[in-house]
Amino acid sequence: MNTYITTKIGFVLLVLLTLGACETDFDNPNAATDEQVFSSREGILAAAAGMQQQYSTTGLRFIVETPAVTTREAGITTTFQNMIELEDGGTPLPNFNSNVQGLWSNLLRIISVSENIENNVASIPLEAGTQSGLLAHAKLFKALAIGGMAMNYEQVVLETNNDNNAAFVTRDGAFDAALGFLSEAKAAIMATPPSEEFTNVVTLGNIDLLNTINAMLARYNLIRGNYDAAIANASEVDQASTSTFVYDTQNLNPVWNRVFLNDAPNFKPRDNFGLPTELALDAADGRIAFYLVPLEETNQNGLPIEDLAGFFNVNTGPIPAYIPDEMNLIIAEAHLRKGTPDIAAAIEAINLVRTDTDDPLGVNAALADYSGDTSVAALLDEVYINRRAELFLSGLSLEDSRRFGRPEPSGEIKNFEEERNRNFYPYPDLERNSNPNTPEDPAI
């Protein structure tokens, strides 16, 4: 990467970090961004690379950490108030909690930059494949940001707004919008494949754009209840391919940063991935040793914890944008939730996950075929167990817990026996204080 583009990326990241958390905080910074970054080839390429870097570092920290504590994937190991509040949970979780605010604000920043790329890319002289790559990349990350918000908040905004009145939409509306952006992204690169210039400057060959778009189409169609579409999209993903966010000594793996940095962990993983006893994994499951290191300790609230491995115990280790076997779990779940469930197809997909020994990312259960109860309810439990183990610390646990009908939280504070202590997060104060359209907070 040339020095000029590297400098531009640094400028873009500085702009990202100074943008306000709500969609109305863009006056002077946005004027500078439009003029200095989004009006040139070098600037818009750097903006795309900077957006991906922002998402994969600060954004991914909140995407992973926040629901992990809420759903007992992780137990806190710190006295920082934001983490205490998350683990205590319940109705009193404050709007000013820094995780609640950080998750919202960082994803809005991604939406803002993606909008600027979309709005300006056509006006800059670019190779056709560079333009299509930038457009698809922006729409992918916009969809990731909207989907990430919709998995954690009851209503979300779809775009930034300088007039302090961005409209909120339901989760269904948000996922429909994300699916629309992903479909547009796919159409752009199917019509004009991304150029080497785009790949060399923006994704560096680490993100397989088409497979990632198909994977997110599968993910969000499943959540939205579009089961045939989810199966079709998941089947299009090449499971021998991977997409990863990569890190270096200047941009550390964000989960490592929170668990290992300075030997002062903010959280550690829970035993059995935080699942209740009745959903315990087979002790021979290879994913236990992949993600967890035995530790005979409890945290300050008496919750059993382990040490962390997997994608998170090396400071510059890559983190997957998705796990290939998520596609098989999507196919299994969709077949079970269809109006007429296809039990045989669901079991076949489950077995592809259970018996996997050659996953390209090393996430291998290496178990025998499923031999238990073949009722829809029992098979959905099997899918849920496998999702928890396969997709550990991927930011999907709160969405999964609700979708699989796991026990509702009581709303009580410090009820550490509950599988999750919230359904959705309250809206951040920084949004409520600037946007009169902010809805009432969810009850729990």
The pLDDT tens digits of the residues spanning 312-326 come to 999 999 999 999 999
Quote the percentage of the chain above a pLDDT of 90: 91
Average pLDDT over residues 184-206: 98
pLDDT at 162: 87
Backbone angles phi, psi at 248, to 5 degrees: -140, -175
Backbone angles phi, psi at 200, to 5 degrees: -70, -30
Of the given ranges (27-36, 81-90, 115-124, 391-400), which has the lowest mean pLDDT?
27-36
In terms of Cα–Cα distance, which of 167, 174, 173 is closest to 149? 174
Cα 333 from Cα 329, distance rounded (Å): 6
Q: Is the pLDDT of residue 9 over 80?
A: no
Cα 152 from Cα 76, distance rounded (Å): 19
Q: Is the pLDDT of residue 28 over 90?
A: no
Average pLDDT over residues 222-240: 98
Q: Is the pLDDT of residue 214 over 60?
A: yes
18 touches 28 (CB < 8 A):
no
Cα 260 from Cα 189, distance rounded (Å): 39
Confidence at 35, pLDDT banded by 50, 70, 90:
low
What is each CA distance from 309 to 8, 63, 255, in whole angstroms?
34, 18, 11
Q: Is the pLDDT of residue 388 over 70?
A: yes
Of the given ranges (24-28, 194-198, 228-232), which has the lowest mean pLDDT?
24-28
Backbone angles phi, psi at 275, to 5 degrees: -75, 150
pLDDT at 295: 97
Q: Is the pLDDT of residue 10 over 90?
A: no
Instruction: Encode pLDDT of 344-359 as tens digits.
Output: 999 999 999 999 999 9
Q: Is the pLDDT of residue 156 over 90?
A: yes
Q: Is the pLDDT of residue 12 over 80?
A: no
Quote the percentage of the chain above a pLDDT of 70: 92
Which residues sit opposite 269 in a β-bridge?
A: 74
Cα 392 from Cα 313, distance rounded (Å): 14
User: What amino acid is encoded at 345 in this protein?
Assistant: A
Confidence at 37, pLDDT banded by 50, 70, 90:
confident
- For 78, other C-beta atoms within 10 Å of its C-beta total 16
Confidence at 34, pLDDT banded by 50, 70, 90:
low
pLDDT at 68: 98
Average pLDDT over residues 367-393: 98
In terms of Cα–Cα distance, which of 118, 161, 168 is closest to 141? 118
Torsion, Cα of 84, 56, 245, 363 (10° steps): 30
Largest CA distance in the chain: 62
pLDDT at 6: 47
